[in-house]
Amino acid sequence: MSRWNFIRFFIVLLSIIIINIINIPNTRSEVIEINKDEITLIRKAFEPYRDVTEGMYREVKNQKIKLEQEHYDNIYKGSGRKVAYLTFDDGPTPNITTQILDILMTEKIEATFFIIGKNAKQYPDIIKRINKEGHLLGNHSYSHSYKNIYQNTDIYIEELIKTEEVINDILQTEYDLTLTRFPGGMFGSRPAFIKAINEAGYTYIDWNALNGDSEGKVLPKEHLVNRLINSSRGKEVLVILMHDAGGKITTVEALPEIMEYLKAEGYVFLRLDQPYSIKENSDYIIRENNSDRRII
């Protein structure tokens, strides 16, 4: 059994357990409407097991986070295929994110957007569009203010939760906003933050290639294309850092050329939560429909 088949099997097994756990309160609330006496009896019957089910829920969630973090930690090891994960940080913004979405749609490519909570709150329709068009949303803190978020782990996690609440509110669902990216990147610094977010139910990823669009105000398109070519040379798996903050006009301009280059080099494009084998094993689908993406 290959590694991913094993993980798939494990995730399916965990999902079945969770669905069963989730179904218990649902069944109970339906009974409430029918017969109050009956529900009182059911409640009493369930009471002794409440801690057990909550404990199981936590345990399953911890296992899920552990597996997902392993996936992100090992992502650069690859599996003999050239994969490019396009990622866009600091949006959504009305002028830049929408243009990037148009380009991705034309090319039928899915990407990952690490959004800032306060921007999401300001532009809910763009969040809806990102989700509807099949891209993955990631959490990039609420304020992106280094001096605030890195004061201590509690403040950082509060920002992740706040952003998650904004996304759930916009999408009217419990979106699984587990994947995060630390503003400025982490690269092994601040180990206490890494430990804290994993324990709080979040995973994280940095990057290993970039277009350099945050290395100056508005850098020429050619500079961004060359930076991407140089930073990706010789790498089988690319997690590419780009930005869809307002003003990143040349990021939009450079994107078609960057994608052309990567395609010519033989890369396939995936969302960060998709394993490399996804294109080979067509039966492997993490989610067929965005609305199915729920926290377990």
Residue ranges in contact with Zn ion by CB under 5 A:
89-90, 183
- Could you tell me which of 223, 197, 199, 193 has the C-alpha nearest to residue 211? 223
Nearer to Zn ion, 18 or 179 (CB): 179
CA 182 to chain centre: 12
Nearer to Zn ion among residue 183 and residue 275 (C-beta): 183
Least distance from C-beta 207 to Zn ion, angstroms?
Answer: 11
Our CB check for Zn ion shows the closer of 18 and 160 to be 160
Minimum distance from CB of 71 to Zn ion (Å)? 22
CB of 144 to Zn ion, least distance (A): 6
Chain residue at closest Cβ approach to Zn ion:
89
Whether residue 53 contacts residue 21, with contact meaning beta carbons closer than 8 Å, is answered with: yes
Q: In terms of CB distance, is 18 or 194 closer to Zn ion?
A: 194
Question: With respect to Zn ion, which residue has the nearer C-beta, 117 or 183?
Answer: 183
| 140 catalytic per annotation | no
Could you tell me the smallest distance in angstroms from the CB atom of residue 141 to Zn ion? 8
Structure tokens at 259: 């994608």
Single-letter amino acid, residue 280: E
Structure tokens at 7: 């993980």
- Is 89 an active-site residue? yes
Find the catalytic residue in 89, 90, 213, 273.
89
**Least spacing, CB of residue 140 vs Zn ion, in Å:** 6
The residue annotated as part of the active site, out of 71, 140, 144, 243, is 243
Catalytically active residues are 89, 243
